[in-house]
Amino acid sequence: MPAMTSWFTYLGFPFELAWTVATVIDILVIALPVMLAVAMIIYADRKIWAAMALRRGPNVVGPLGLLQSFADGLKVFLQETIVPSGANKGLFLLAPIITFTVALIVWAVVPFQAGVALSNINVGLLYVLAASSLGVYGIILAGWSSNSKYPFYSAIRAAAQMVSYEVSIGFVLISVVLWAGTFNLGTIVEAQKGYYGFVNGNFVNPLLFPMAIVFFISSLAETQRAPFDLTEAESELVAGYQTEYSSMAFALYWLGEYANVILMCALNATLFWGGYLPPFDWAPLYAVPGILWLFAKMLFFFFCFSWVKATVPRYRYDQLMRLGWKIFLPLSLLFVFLVSGYLMLTRVGVPA
Partner 1 sequence: MIQLLAFYLFATIVCVSGAATILSRNPVHSVLWLILAFFNAAGLMVLVGAEFIAMLLVIVYVGAVAVLFLFVVMMLDIDFTELRAGVMKYAAVGLLLALALVAEIIVAVGAWSAGTLALGRRVAPVADGVPNIEAIGALLYTRYLFVFEGAGLVLLVAMIGAIVLTYRKRSDVRPQNIARQNARRAKDATRNMNPAVGQGMEL
Angstrom distance (rounded) from CA 294 to CA 307: 20
Angstrom distance (rounded) from CA 347 to CA 337: 15
H or E element that contains 275: none
Q: What is the DSSP string of 167-225?
A: HHHHHHHHHHHHHHT-S-HHHHHHTTTTBTTTB-SGGGSTTTHHHHHHHHHHHHHHTT-
| Shortest reach from residue 212's CB to partner 1, in Å | 22
| Shortest reach from residue 117's CB to partner 1, in Å | 15
Contact call for residue 312 and partner 1 (CB under 8 A): no
With CB under 8 A as the contact rule, the residue among 61, 83, 129, 248 that binds partner 1 is: 129
**Binding track, positions 175-194, relative to partner 1; x by CB under 8 A:** --------x-----------
- 324 with 168: CB under 8 angstroms? yes
Angstrom distance (rounded) from CA 105 to CA 135: 11
- C-alpha 143: how far from chain center: 22
CB closer to partner 1 out of 128 and 298: 128
Give the CA distances from residue 294 to residues 195, 270, 306, 331, in Å, rounded to whole numbers and listed in that order: 18, 8, 18, 28
CB closer to partner 1 out of 88 and 113: 88
Q: Which of residues 68-97 bind partner 1 (CB under 8 A)?
A: 88, 91
**Considering only CA atoms, which of 299, 308, 257 is closest in space to residue 35?**
257
With CB under 8 A as the contact rule, the residue among 45, 166, 222, 257 that binds partner 1 is: 166
**Binding track, positions 260-299, relative to partner 1; x by CB under 8 A:** ----------------------------------------
Other CB atoms within 10 A of residue 53 CB:
11
Contact call for residue 233 and partner 1 (CB under 8 A): no
With CB under 8 A as the contact rule, the residue among 137, 195, 295, 303 that binds partner 1 is: 137
| Shortest reach from residue 145's CB to partner 1, in Å | 9
Contact call for residue 20 and partner 1 (CB under 8 A): yes
What residues make contact with partner 1 under the rule CB under 8 A?
16, 19-20, 88, 91, 121-123, 126-127, 129-130, 133-134, 136-137, 140-141, 144, 156, 159, 163, 166, 183, 318-319, 322
